[in-house]
């Protein structure tokens, strides 16, 4: 069962980004997930399966979710 995700959710990843942050905003959802680092604004696109393995928790769900 896939995770319930919404655009604008802030997630915490298991590993830190090289800039030192582990907080990301979801900017695209589909078979691939695009996330944006909240510290340095770097964007990463990864397959949904890989994303779900690497996410630790959803910190702040967006207002639009569900």
The 10s digit of each residue's pLDDT in 2-45 is 788 999 999 999 999 999 999 999 999 999 999 999 999 999 99
SS (H, E, C) 1-66: CCCCCCCCCEEEECCCCCCCCCEEEEEECCCEEEEEECCCCCEEEEEHHHHHHHEEEEEECCCCCC
Burial 5-28 (b: 16+ CB within 10 A, else e): beeebebebeeebeeeebbbbbee
- Residue 54's pLDDT is what? 95
């Amino acid at each position: 069962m896939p995770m319930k995700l919404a655009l604008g959710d802030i997630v915490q990843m298991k590993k830190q980004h090289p800039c030192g942050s582990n907080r990301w905003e979801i900017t695209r959802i589909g078979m691939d997930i695009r996330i944006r680092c909240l510290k340095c604004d770097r964007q990463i696109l990864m397959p949904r399966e890989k994303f779900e393995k690497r996410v630790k928790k959803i910190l702040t769900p967006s207002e639009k979710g569900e």
